[in-house]
Amino acid sequence: MNVAEKTEQPPPVAGDGGAAPPAFLAYLKEADIAAFQRAYLFSERAHAGQFRKDGKPYITHPLAVAEILAGWQLDGQTLIAALLHDVVEDTGISSSEIAQEFGKPVAGLVDGVTKLDKIQFEDKAQAQAENFRKMLLAMARDVRVILIKLADRLHNMRTLDVMRPEKQGRIAQETLDIYAPIANRLGLNHLYQELEDLAFERVHPTRHKVIEKAVKAARGNRREVVEKIKAAIETKLGGCQIPAQIFGREKHLYSVYRKMQEKHLAFSEVFDIYGFRVIVEDARACYLTLGALHALYKPIPGKFKDYIAIPKPNGYQSLHTTLFGPFGAPVEVQIRTQEMHRIAEAGIASHWLYKAGEDTVSELQIQTNQWLQSLLDIQADSRDSVEFLEHIKVDLFPDEVYVFTPKGRIVALPRGATAVDFAYNVHSDVGNHCVGVKINSEFMPLSTPLKNGDRVEVLTSESARPNPAWAHFAITGKARAHIRSALKNTHRHESIQLGQRLLDQAARALGSDPDSLGAAQWERVEKETGRDREDTLADIGLGKRLAFVVARQLLARDADSPAGRATGPMPISGTEGVAVRLGKCCRPIPGDPIIGQIKKEQGLIIHTHDCPQVRHYREDPDKWVDVTWDVQQDKQFEVGIRIIVANQRGVLAKVAAAIASEGSDIDNVRMEEEAGTYTSLYFTVSVQNRLHLARLIRALRALHEVVRIMRLKGKGDERGGNVV
């Protein structure tokens, strides 16, 4: 019988002949029970005339949610909020009315759970993401929000039969993706397993039936083996004088299915469907039990985990070991104390922040709050709700590795996390300024995946900045959000600098001194456009606005006023950053005649005058900027060359030596045989300017094996090129 069926009728209300209140409220104080019954009447009146899809009065749903929460023995405010959690969304009641009637804390909980159906979004994905963002941020402020939402989702999953099949599938998939992982992350083990199994039944109904049938059959076939192992464990621990409770443990269906999927196993190959849980008096007894069991059955190497010394982030503690049991079947055993068992089953709800009479804060509460606060950090660095949800999903999956800081502090990270993830976990500033890493005292790449037990030391520099490549191998939400935020801020800063230079050039072209553009002119333009100075300059740098148009606005010139081009081209060094880029189509180097293309959202792109990309916009003066190379620059520039050589022994080594002798680095090389006795060598080399390239070409021509040399200017230029 599900919760909805148990709570169809209203509970006795205070004043109804002195009837006893519902049994599930017995742990609350009398004042809380009275407030609950008052909230029940309030919710019943608000939902009057509303029915669920199964035809039952709507009040049965919030009452069922409250009963689930009462099973976790949560406080009166939470149970009242559960009764009212759909009132704002589905009736004419406002949050202020709830606050006035039941207090601001209850109104805050209700608001955190309420969906955003009345706001218009571009699509369903954005609406779903925004709902989760609001809920998770409310949860970061008060963990009771997510406990209400999880209880709400559990009851909805239990009563999903009346929904259309496609809606059942969507809700179930959402439960697997978000709600079940959150329950696991908070240590709500029973809830986590039930949500997964209920969702599995809807997402893959046929597979669920097959595995359910197979598990029932295996239960009968293996009963004798399970009883034999249990008796052997009891005898062994009794002989060692270790008091213990021993329970058989059956894997829930979705975990069996997931193991079959991840390890590509048939059902008959999944031997650990049944395991054992041993409950002992204290932590010392846990380790004594482990030794006794290893003496009884041989342990399988690599299958031991000590979650007592290193608890999971959700507070879970146990010893896990897998043994070679009778008939060669592996036997999985969990060993824990009664307190550890309580936390393993109920998680944060077993020892939560709002329980009366507790003045101390547990390690579990501290860890949970740290994770909840990290949600706020990720939100601050995410561009929108969809990106925020993407980051959060990564952090919800439970597979973790445990590594150590140089001082011995344990850091838990998702499996597959890299040194960059570790750096951002320590602190965002450490991540933003990291330049290298030592793993177990050895220098390693920042992209190195971390393993259990690694000792990680991050090397930093004040001048260092995040590299765009980090986003490809960072996997934690916190690291990815901070990297994207830092790159976005860097891009904006460089766009503002470029926008200022383009605006100065436009002002000179209009015959005005850029320094004469003061605060008064900017204030006037800001009022006209609604954009402040930095936004306007960034827009110019990104190609969203034309520098000459803004310059005319600042100078109060109309569009028909005469304006020649700038008195001099804008100097470019090639080191400006992401706001100024060299065109990949023509690979300009200092000494090449160049022109700047203003491209929306990308900034200024530098091309050579003869680049084919320039032709279609050269006639439009608003699309290009006159630029020249800065005489003071020492950057190395990549250039492609094709060298046709005679097929002779050692020719590649001679060509490479000649390139090195002229102070050029070889970034890439490949060979392609030509018809006859010749070979084409394709090099990407670095040079300072066109004169440097000319010296390199002369040195290569001096080799008698070299037949012909061409400079390559783009990807499509490999078979052609310009003979030099």
Closest CA to 106 of 135, 145, 140: 145
- Contacts for 617 with CB less than 8 Å, ≥ 6 apart: 597, 623, 624
Instruction: Report the distance separating Cα 689 and Cα 634, nearest Å.
Output: 9
Rounded to the nearest angstrom, the gap between the alpha carbon of residue 631 and the centroid of all alpha carbons in its chain is 44
Q: Quick one: 461 exposed, middle or buried, by C-beta within 10 A (0-12, 13-18, 19+)? A: exposed
Instruction: Report the distance separating Cα 593 and Cα 370, nearest Å.
Output: 56
Among 8, 44, 75, 89, which one carries the catalytic annotation? 89
β-strand pairing of 666-673 with 678-687: antiparallel
Which amino acid is residue 404, in one-letter code? F
Helices (H) and strands (E) in the chain, counts: 29, 21
CB atoms within 10 A of CB 210: 13
Residue 684, strand partner residues = 640, 668
Among 8, 30, 54, 90, which one carries the catalytic annotation? 90
β-strand pairing of 637-646 with 603-608: unpaired
Q: Tokens 């919030």 identify what position?
A: 62
Q: Is residue 454 annotated as part of the catalytic site, yes or no? A: no
Q: Is residue 523 annotated as part of the catalytic site, yes or no? A: no
Q: Residue 433 to residues 46, 466, 478, 482, 556: CA-CA distances in angstroms?
A: 55, 7, 15, 12, 44
User: Tokens for 561?
Assistant: 């006023």
Instruction: Report the distance separating Cα 163 and Cα 579, nearest Å.
Output: 52
Q: Quick one: 583 exposed, middle or buried, by C-beta within 10 A (0-12, 13-18, 19+)? A: buried
User: Tokens for 289?
Assistant: 């039990």
Long-range contacts, 690-697 (Cβ 8 Å, 24+): 690/589, 690/590, 690/591, 690/592, 691/591, 692/662, 692/663, 692/664, 693/589, 693/591, 693/639, 693/724, 694/724, 695/662, 696/658, 696/659, 696/662, 696/664, 697/641, 697/724
DSSP state of 674: P
DSSP H/E element including 342: helix 338-346
Write phi, then psi, for 628 (nearest 5 degrees). -145, 165
- Contacts for 109 with CB less than 8 Å, ≥ 6 apart: 77, 78, 81, 85, 142, 144, 145, 148
**Which of the residues are catalytic?**
89-90
